[in-house]
Amino acid sequence: MAQISPCVGIDVSKARLDVAVFPDATSFAVDNTPAGWAELAARCTGLSVVTIGLEASGGFEQGIAHALQDRGFTVRLLNPFRVRSFAKALGKLAKNDQIDAAVIARFVATMPGRPLPPRSTVRQRLAAVLTMRQQLIERLVMVRNQARGLADPLLCRLSKRHITGLLADIRLLDRRLAEIVAGDAELTRQYRLLRSAPGVGPVLALTVLAELPELGTIDRWKIAALVGVVPYDFDSGTMKGKRCIWGGRTAVRNVLYMAALVASRCNPQLKAFREQLAHAGKPAKVALVAVMRKLLTMLNAMLRDGREWQPTSA
């Protein structure tokens, strides 16, 4: 029987990292600090560990993930829902930090997966600014909705001042995003390629650059699955259920949805594609998801080939 290479699972919390090794059943804990990361890396090196898995944990996982990547380890960032489903399939209904770390280690050893892409500091900065921009946009929508029902003059003035401040902050972040892209030659090249497609605005182009570094490096089926625009079957026996999309990167999918609405009106190919689906009797939302997938496929091919949008071959 082939020997299984040791795999490590890490349950991440704000202050501590609970670590388990599979199949050795070794477990220990370190602090979630640079000193703890160094200790963990040294112990993993001594155990000849190559692959390490950890769950997304509200950002607390970023420091350890990057530290391990910088030290040459293969790091997999796992979906907590998939890991929990795996635990239930194993019959492990109890849940604590040590058990979770052991389940993660076994998941990494058993299930195929994709390692984190190489660390890119500039893309991380881009993603951080985009996240704050999205938060300000959501706050702006909330304040504007509240302002519609205000009658008191003081509240109206305060609301107007708040809206003006939010708009100024959003413009400031837009300038920062432009500076980040302009300061990196590769991002500038990719941004120019993406923006050449009708219907692709600055927000979509920046979002896929920051949140979807795999774009242009994998095939169209995998990139669609990553974003969550692949319709999955729901059939059993003679029952034919409705296909539905599930999972994926929400931040990218939300922006792609709005871009598909625009592109299905101003992009000749996507407009014709949506009209064709409508004439075939497809529901409006089904047709729009198909436009999202086609737009994403088009952008993936453009970055893969390093070519701007071309109406005859997009």
For residue range 92-107, list pLDDT tens digits in order.
Answer: 888 898 999 999 999 9
The arithmetic mean of pLDDT across residues 60-65, rounded, is 88
> When comparing pLDDT for 244 and 218, which is higher?
218
Q: What is the pLDDT of residue 1?
A: 42
The CATH number corresponding to 7-110 among 1.10.3720.10, 3.30.420.140, 1.10.730.10, 3.20.20.70 equals 3.30.420.140
Proportion of the chain above pLDDT 70, given as a percent: 93
Name the band, by pLDDT with cuts 50, 70 and 90, for residue 276. very high
Name the band, by pLDDT with cuts 50, 70 and 90, for residue 41. very high
> When comparing pLDDT for 241 and 178, which is higher?
178
Q: What is the pLDDT of residue 250?
A: 87
Q: Is residue 197 over pLDDT 70?
A: yes
For 12, counting Cβ atoms within 10 Å of its Cβ (0-12 exposed, 13-18 middle, 19+ buried), the class is: buried
- pTM here is 0.78
Of 74, 7, 79, 71, nearest to 34 (Cα)? 71
The arithmetic mean of pLDDT across residues 118-142, rounded, is 91
For the chain, the distance separating the N- and C-terminal CA atoms, rounded to the nearest angstrom, is 49
Name the band, by pLDDT with cuts 50, 70 and 90, for residue 232. low
Q: Is residue 40 over pLDDT 90?
A: yes
Q: What is the pLDDT of residue 249?
A: 84
Name the band, by pLDDT with cuts 50, 70 and 90, for residue 234. low
Q: What is the pLDDT of residue 241?
A: 61
Distance between CA atoms of residues 286 and 271, nearest Å: 14
Q: What is the pLDDT of residue 304?
A: 94
Q: Which two tokens stand for residue 169?
A: 């902050």
Which residue ranges make up each domain of the chain? 7-110, 121-183, 197-314
Lowest mean pLDDT segment, chosen from 30-44, 112-126, 132-146, 281-295: 112-126
